[in-house]
Structures are given as C-alpha cells and as structure tokens.
Amino acid sequence: MRDMSVVRYDARWPTAYEEESTHLLAVLGAVIVSIHHIGSTAVPDLAAKPVIDILMEVRDLQELDGHDEAMRSIGYVPRGEYGIPGRRYYPKGGDARTHHVHAFTVGDRHVAEHIAFRDYLRAHPHVAAEYADVKRKAAAAHGSDPEGYQAGKHEFVFNTLGEAVAWAKSGKA
C-alpha cells in the first residue's frame, strides 16, 4: 500500500537528485542526452510527496529499453510507457517510493511541459503555495490511493500546465 502523504519541503531533495542522477549517468552513460530534476521536489519550499522525480532525455527509447537490466541493478523497475505513449517509466522503492524516472526522446513535448511546469512554479511562489494546498487536500482524501491522489490534483495541474507552457513560450521563463 502506497502512502500519498505530502510533507514539508526538504532542502536535501536537490542533493538526492544529484546523487541519483550520478548513478543513472554511470549506469546508462551515453544513452542519456540530458537529465533534469522535475516535479514538486524540484521546487524550493513546495510541499511534496518525498519522491524525487527525474526526467531523462534520450535519443532512442529502444536503446534505453536495452538497458532494463542496468536499471534493475540500481533498484528501478521498468514499467514501459505506463499510460503515456512515448514515455519509459521506472519507479524505485516499491510501495515506499524514493524515485521516479520518466524518459522521453529529445524533443518530445512532454519534456518541455515538465520543465515549463517546474520553472513556472519556481517563478510563481503563490501558485506553488496554491498547488501545495491542492496536494495536501488530495492526499488527505486519498491517503493510499495513487489514482485518487492524481485525480484530486488533475484540474489544477491541467490548468497550470497551460499557463506554464504559454509563459515559457512567451520568453518570460
């Protein structure tokens, strides 16, 4: 049973990302074109589930698929697209998740969207605070139900993502 608890921001999250990205680069090497810290743990002062989200840009998903054993060797479970066409998803930590890796090919629109959402929240602390409230309410309502938790955030994320992408395209990012 997974815990959807949202906790206060932890200043150690960026270091946890850096350490894990070093492991991923060591195991996958040239498969990775770029690697990014995304999600709520990448936004200073934002409450979050204590799970580090990592976005990898790769040249070729099939090449990445050939490294599933390497990912398993450092604790990740390959889950394929897992509901998002063109993505490769790897959770780590079982029900006590510590990391999620999301991989897309370079230029995939999801890359730009994830980065725009992160950067928008970083640049707009009042929106990040609003998001924290939404997440806390979703966690309280759906404590061990990941799908319910995601559904509880969906409207906010969908609307904010539209604003974030427009903001990024405007050059204000």
Q: For residue 99, is it within any domain?
A: yes
**pLDDT score of 124:** 98
Q: At what angle do helices 109-123 and 125-141 cross, to 10 degrees?
A: 110
**pLDDT score of 173:** 61
**pLDDT score of 28:** 98
Domain with 118 in it? 13-169
**pLDDT score of 151:** 96
**pLDDT score of 1:** 81
Q: What is the CATH number of the domain that holds 153?
A: 3.30.460.10
**Total domains in the fold of the chain:** 1
pLDDT in tens, the chain (173 residues): 888 999 999 999 999 999 999 999 999 999 999 999 999 999 999 999 999 999 999 999 999 999 999 999 999 999 999 999 999 999 999 999 999 999 999 999 999 999 999 999 999 999 999 999 999 999 999 989 999 999 999 999 999 999 999 999 998 76
Q: For residue 122, is it within any domain?
A: yes
Query: What is the rounded CA–CA span in Å between residue 53 and residue 72?
Result: 17
Residues 118, 14: contact at Cβ < 8 Å? Answer: no
Q: For residue 7, is it within any domain?
A: no
Q: For residue 8, is it within any domain?
A: no
**pLDDT score of 134:** 97
| Residues β-bridged to residue 104 | 57
**pLDDT score of 59:** 96
**pLDDT score of 172:** 75
Q: For residue 109, is it within any domain?
A: yes
Q: For residue 70, is it within any domain?
A: yes
Burial class (CB in 10 A: 0-12, 13-18, 19+), 89: middle
